[in-house]
Structure formats: structure tokens, C-alpha cells
Amino acid sequence: MLKIDAGSAVPVYEQLKRQIRLGIVSDRYPSDHRMPSIRELASQLKINPNTIAKVYRQLEGEGFLMSKSGSGFFVKLEREHMGKTRRRLLAEIADEFISQAVELGFTPEELIKTLSAKLERISANDPA
């Protein structure tokens, strides 16, 4: 389910964090779900266990996971906070997109137009 692109510029640990966060807010990993053990996930993805440990610790710091020593990491996010969390994540990536576009000198109208066009193509299953 989790996948790593070794050639990517984005660090392995960041790729993992994003995917796990996504799994949680999309309810694929429900609350109290037990995450795969560090060693298990490390051997499956063929990456260093230290990297997995780092990811779990950071997600714990962000409030997505909770560690129970001796028995593993568990999903913590409560149902009622999911919507808020999703919106916060969306706001973050939207801000990033806007700031880059503004940097390139695009107007708000151009952004909306380009985005709408792309989304329509996707809805129509025509990813040209």
C-alpha cells in the first residue's frame, strides 16, 4: 500500500509521512488502527528502520499517531477532528500553489481558469 520513489527529490521520510497522513484523514487507517511495526515496514519497503522510526515519531508529534511502548504505534486522530485536519492540509497546499503562481506573475483569473480546465478533463477521464 505504501510506496517509496527512491529517485524522487522529496526525502523518503517525507514521502512516507504524507502517505500515512493521507491514509489517516481519508479514514483508510481508522482510529486505533495498529500501524505496521517499524521493522516490518522497513523490510517491506527496503529502507532503513531508523527512517521509519523517525516518521512515526514525527507523526506522533503532529497528533496523528500514538505510541504504546512494547506494542507499537496506533492511529490517534479522532473522527470529529478529521474534517478540520483535511481542510488544514488543503489550505497548506493551496497556499503553496498560489504563492508559486503569483511569483510567476499569474492573475487570479488565470489560475482559476487553468485549474478548472484541468479538473474538467480529469472528471471526464481525459488526462491530456
Choose the one of DNA, a second copy, none that binds residue 90, judging by a C-beta under 5 to 8 angstroms depending on kind: a second copy
- 16 lies in the site for a second copy, by CB under 8 A: no
Residues linked to residue 72 through DSSP beta bridges, in sequence order: 68
Q: For residues 12 and 52, what is the distance between their CA atoms, to the nearest angstrom?
A: 9
Using CB under 7 A as the binding rule, whether residue 79 contacts DNA is answered as no
- Looking up cell 487553468 gives 114
What residue type is 107 in one-letter code? T
Applying CB under 8 A, what is the total number of residues that bind a second copy?
41
Residue 116 touches which of a second copy, DNA, none (CB < 5 to 8 A by kind)?
Answer: a second copy
| H runs (alpha helix) in 11-78 | 12-25, 38-45, 49-61
Smallest separation (angstroms) from DNA to the CB of 38: 4
Candidate residues 7, 61, 70, 127; the one interacting with DNA per rule CB under 7 A = 70
The answer to the question of residue 26 lying near a second copy (CB under 8 A) is yes
Residues 10-29 that bind DNA (CB under 7 A): 11-14
Count of residues engaged in binding DNA, rule: CB under 7 A: 24
For residue 91, state whether it binds a second copy (rule: CB under 8 A): yes
